[in-house]
């Protein structure tokens, strides 16, 4: 039984990541960490000196045998020593608090930054896995402040132990039997505190998926994105109820443990009183037997509350170390996640082909999403030559957007390859390769920044953002006209999140996203349903402009609209993850197949027009 308890505490202690936490904090702020440790040591030493001098003073006062002059001199010396040590202790204490605050602020910010940097570097596959969201949530909650809290907690544990030793030593000089009496009460207190701290932490981890669900429903009720539907379908009450039910469960569990912990604390409080009276018993017996002086009794009455004050502090520090440790584990778990898209160690330079000879191509590509059963793309081969507009058509769910994600190298195929100008894209530095592809995703993002910034995000690495280039990209995408009508033109803030922001229509947002792609230094443009919200005139103008300005670049266009598809130089038809037809629009309209079944009515209409 005792052994199993011991191994339990041993496993808890070995679960703490002190070494790694220390090296993380050390790698960020070695200088300040040393200063903080030195200040804590100085603070504890000064406290000890001041207490010891106080005890000496009491000894002197209770020693009546000294000559009167000597007696006074010794008292003055001890008072000066105790007083100056106490004053210094106060000063060092304040500086120590300041440096701890400074150190933890800097470290929190830097670890937060590392968490963000690491998250951005992870590939899309992680977003397929709910486990990842749990880890991310816990790591984000740790918010960078936890590693330092652990180090500070550890420093406080050591300093608390030193302070307890200092006061205990003084108490023990009164009567050695007071030590076992005190220890008998300290150890159960420690065990109970660790037990409940551990219990609260494991509850928190276990309930993270539920907490994520609750915050999801909470967000549905409050966010702008869902506001319209929530109101028009009167869903507010429904989701509020769901949120409330989960929160009630979470809170009830937490309060149950809190109550158990409070009851134990009440028990511990009685232990403290008990220990006080046990000690008083020993002291009283000592006084009767002539071993204990009135000075000893005075020093005990002074030291005992201090001793328990420090003991409480030590327990608090241990709890801090424990509860922060669980979060730090998730920061390290997050840092340990590695992108599964292997970056080549010897990247090839991006190839640029002469006019007409370059292409973006897919060769025998097969793909299944991570954690999914079904193969989404099967043996796909297609070519997007320079200077041409190629269309990809297919019913919903046939795999078009998935194919785009593979071209963007958000995932790697299970077999086959994507090639840029004949070279497999796995040979390029990922960031360099992605610059060659300007994509407008089907679910593009609406950035709440200015118009100019919205467009310049297409080439964030550009040394100087030239306004003429931004305007040119906007003109090509058909966005320039509506931007010109804004009071602040290209400096107008988009969206309603920030003051002075301006909301625009879906089609206008789409034009802005397209301008962003056109601003990029891409060799190939990929438009996934990028014209779905555009009016017929805008769509016509955009393709006319795309074709006229394509030059050495190529374009892959996904659309459900015949009016878009018929402008393409070549068309691939995707069905259930396979290319089932390919050819020019004219060729495909003449053959019975998936293409004619998709565009049945449009083709007929077109023929009638002819």
Positions in the binding site for ligand ATP (CB under 6 A): 128, 369, 372, 376, 394, 396-402, 442
Q: Which stretch binds Mg ion (CB under 5 A): 282-290, 395-403, 447-455, 579-587?
A: 395-403
Draw the binding track, 398-427, toward Mg ion (x: CB under 5 A; -: no contact).
Answer: --xx--------------------------
Q: What are the backbone dihedrals phi and psi of residue 558, each rounded to the nearest 5 degrees, phi first?
A: -105, 130
* Closer Cβ to ligand ATP, 292 or 376, answer by number: 376
Q: Does 532 bind Mg ion (CB under 5 A)?
A: no
DSSP-assigned letter for residue 493? B
Q: Which is nearer to ligand ATP, 153 or 399 (CB)?
A: 399
Q: Strands of 570-575's sheet, edge to edge?
A: 437-440, 524-528, 554-558, 389-394, 570-575, 578-583
Residue 343 binds which of ligand ATP, Mg ion, none (CB < 5-8 A, kind-dependent): none
369: partner contacted, choices Mg ion, ligand ATP, none (Cβ within 5-8 A by kind): ligand ATP
Stretch that binds Mg ion, among 88-96, 328-336, 406-414, 438-446 (CB under 5 A): 438-446
Shortest Å distance, C-beta 573 to ligand ATP: 12
Beta carbon of residue 226, minimum distance to ligand ATP (angstroms, whole number): 21
Work out the burial of residue 302: count CB atoms within 10 Å of its CB; fewer than 13 is exposed, 13-18 middle, 19 or more buried.
middle
200 makes contact with Mg ion (CB under 5 A)? no
Q: CB of 598: closest distance to Mg ion in angstroms?
A: 14
Residue 293 or residue 442: which is nearer to Mg ion going by CB? 442
Rounded least distance, CB 325 to ligand ATP, Å: 34
CA atoms within 13 A on the CB side of 401: 13
* Closest of 586, 440, 451, 434 to residue 514, by C-alpha: 440
State which residue, 396 or 485, has the beta carbon closest to ligand ATP.
Answer: 396
Q: What is the DSSP string of 502-513?
A: B---HHHHHHHH
Q: Which of 97, 21, 25 is nearest to 324 (CA)?
A: 21
The distance of closest approach from Cβ of residue 12 to ligand ATP in the complex, given in angstroms and rounded to an integer, is 38
Estimate the crossing angle of helix 68-121 against helix 145-174, to 10 degrees: 160
Closest-approach residue to Mg ion (CB): 401
What does 514 interact with, of Mg ion, ligand ATP, none (CB < 5 to 8 A by kind)?
none
Region of 102-110, 304-312, 326-334, 439-447 interacting with Mg ion (CB under 5 A): 439-447
CA 34 to chain centre: 28
How many residues line the site for Mg ion (CB under 5 A)?
Answer: 3
**C-alpha span between 158 and 40 (Å, rounded):** 9
Min. distance of Cβ 17 from ligand ATP in angstroms?
33
323 binds, among ligand ATP, Mg ion, none (CB under 5 to 8 A by kind): none
Among 162, 139, 28, 121, which Cα is nearest to 340's?
A: 121
Q: Which is nearer to Mg ion, 103 or 402 (CB)?
A: 402
Locate all alpha helices (DSSP H) within 392-479, ordered by sequence: 400-407, 430-434, 451-456, 467-477
Least CB distance to ligand ATP at residue 378 (A)? 12
Contact yes or no for 259/265 (Cβ under 8 A) = no
What does 278-330 look like in DSSP terms, one character per residue?
A: HHHHHHHHHHHTT-S-HHHHHHHHHHHHHHHHHHHHHHHHHHHHHHHHHHHHH
Residue (238 or 369) nearer to Mg ion, CB: 369
3-class secondary-structure state, position 527: strand
**Cα torsion through 547, 550, 553, 555, rounded to 10:** -30
CB nearer to ligand ATP: give 27 or 396: 396
User: With contact defined as beta carbons under 8 Å apart, do 58 and 299 qualify?
Assistant: yes
CB of 609 to ligand ATP, least distance (A): 27
Sign of CA dihedral 39, 40, 44, 47: positive
Residue 442 within binding range of Mg ion, rule CB under 5 A: yes
Q: How far is the CB of 568 from Mg ion (least distance, A)?
A: 17
Q: How far is the CB of 448 from Mg ion (least distance, A)?
A: 25
Helices (H), 337-429: 400-407
Contact 470, 455 (CB under 8 A): yes
Q: What is the DSSP string of 569-592?
A: SEEEEEETTEEEEEE-HHHHHHS-
Which CB, 16 or 568, lies closer to Mg ion? Answer: 568
Binds 397: which of ligand ATP, Mg ion, none (CB < 5-8 Å by kind): ligand ATP
User: Toward ligand ATP, which CB reaches closer, 453 or 582?
Assistant: 582
Query: E strands, 543-577, where?
Result: 554-558, 570-575
Shorter beta-carbon distance to Mg ion: residue 142 or 437: 437
| 574: nearest Cα among 359, 362, 356, 357 | 362
Binding site partner of 104, from ligand ATP, Mg ion, none, Cβ cut-off 5-8 A by kind: none
398 binds, options Mg ion, ligand ATP, none, Cβ within 5 to 8 A by partner type: ligand ATP
The residue among 33 and 402 lying less far from ligand ATP, judged by its C-beta, is 402
Sort 332 into a burial class: Cβ within 10 Å, 0-12 / 13-18 / 19+: middle
The residue range among 101-109, 112-120, 137-145, 435-443 that interacts with Mg ion, by the rule CB under 5 A, is: 435-443
Considering CB distances under 5 to 8 angstroms, the limit depending on partner class, which of Mg ion, ligand ATP, none binds residue 200? none
Tell me which of ligand ATP, Mg ion, none is bound by residue 101, counting a contact when its beta carbon lies within the kind-specific cut-off of 5 to 8 angstroms.
Answer: none
As measured in angstroms, the least distance from the Cβ of 400 to Mg ion is 5
The listed partner (ligand ATP, Mg ion, none) that binds 208, CB under 5 to 8 Å by sort, is: none
- Min CB(250)–ligand ATP separation in Å: 29
Nearer to ligand ATP, 401 or 427 (CB): 401
In whole angstroms, the minimum distance from the beta carbon of 233 to ligand ATP comes to: 23
Q: What one-character DSSP code corresponds to residue 435?
A: T
Please identify, using beta-carbon distances, which residue of 86 and 401 lies nearer to Mg ion.
401
Residues that bind Mg ion (CB under 5 A): 400-401, 442
């Amino acid at each position: 039984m005792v052994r199993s308890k011991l191994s339990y505490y041993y496993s808890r202690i070995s679960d703490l990541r002190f070494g790694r936490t220390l090296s993380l904090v050390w790698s960020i702020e070695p200088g300040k960490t040393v200063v903080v440790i030195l200040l804590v040591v100085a603070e504890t030493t000064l406290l000890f000196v001041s207490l010891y001098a106080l005890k000496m003073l009491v000894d002197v006062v209770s020693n009546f045998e000294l000559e009167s002059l000597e007696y006074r001199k010794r008292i003055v010396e001890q008072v000066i020593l105790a007083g100056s040590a106490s004053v210094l202790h106060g000063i060092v204490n304040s500086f120590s608090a300041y440096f701890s605050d400074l150190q933890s602020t800097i470290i929190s910010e830097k670890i937060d930054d590392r968490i963000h940097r690491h998250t951005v570097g992870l590939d899309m596959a992680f977003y397929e896995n709910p486990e990842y969201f749990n880890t991310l949530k816990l790591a984000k909650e740790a918010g960078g402040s936890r590693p330092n809290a652990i180090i500070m907690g550890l420093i406080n544990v050591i300093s608390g132990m030193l302070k307890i030793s200092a006061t205990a030593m003084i108490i023990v000089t009164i009567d050695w039997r007071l030590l076992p009496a005190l220890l008998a009460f300290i150890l159960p207190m420690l065990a109970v505190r660790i037990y409940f701290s551990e219990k609260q932490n494991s509850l928190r981890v276990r309930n993270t998926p539920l907490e994520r669900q609750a915050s999801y429903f909470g967000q549905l009720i409050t966010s702008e994105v869902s506001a319209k539907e929530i109101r028009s379908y009167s869903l507010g009450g429904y989701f509020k109820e769901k949120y409330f039910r989960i929160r009630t469960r979470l809170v009830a569990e937490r309060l149950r443990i809190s109550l158990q912990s409070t009851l134990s604390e009440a028990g511990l409080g009685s232990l403290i009183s008990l220990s006080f009276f046990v000690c008083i018993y020993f002291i009283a017996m000592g006084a009767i037997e002539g071993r204990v002086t009135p000075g000893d009794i005075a020093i005990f009455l002074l030291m005992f509350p201090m001793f328990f004050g420090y003991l409480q502090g030590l327990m608090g520090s241990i709890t801090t170390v424990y509860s922060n440790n669980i979060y730090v584990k998730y920061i390290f778990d997050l840092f340990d996640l590695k992108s599964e898209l292997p970056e080549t160690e010897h990247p090839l330079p991006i190839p640029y082909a002469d006019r007409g000879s370059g292409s973006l191509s897919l060769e025998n590509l097969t793909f299944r999403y991570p954690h999914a059963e079904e193969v989404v793309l099967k043996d796909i081969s297609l070519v997007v030559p320079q200077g041409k507009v190629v269309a990809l058509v297919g019913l919903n769910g046939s795999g078009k957007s998935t194919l785009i994600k593979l071209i963007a190298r958000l995932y790697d195929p299970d077999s086959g390859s994507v090639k840029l100008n004949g070279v497999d894209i796995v040979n390029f530095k990922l960031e360099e390769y992605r610059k060659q592809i300007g994509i407008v995703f089907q679910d593009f993002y609406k950035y709440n920044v200015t118009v100019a910034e919205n467009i310049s995000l297409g080439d964030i690495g550009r040394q100087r953002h030239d306004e003429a280039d931004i305007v040119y990209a906007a003109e090509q995408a058909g966005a320039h006209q509506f931007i010109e009508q804004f009071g602040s033109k290209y400096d107008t803030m988009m969206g309603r999140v920030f003051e002075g922001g301006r909301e625009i229509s879906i089609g206008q947002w789409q034009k802005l996203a397209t301008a962003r792609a056109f601003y990029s230094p891409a060799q190939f443009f990929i438009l996934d349903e990028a014209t779905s919200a555009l009016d017929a005139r805008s769509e016509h103008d955009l393709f006319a402009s795309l074709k006229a300005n394509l030059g050495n670049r190529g374009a892959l266009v996904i659309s459900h609209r015949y009016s878009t598809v018929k402008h393409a130089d070549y068309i691939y038809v995707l069905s259930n993850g396979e290319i089932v037809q390919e050819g020019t629009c004219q060729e495909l309209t003449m053959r019975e197949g998936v293409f004619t079944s998709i565009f049945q009515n449009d083709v007929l209409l077109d023929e009638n027009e002819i």
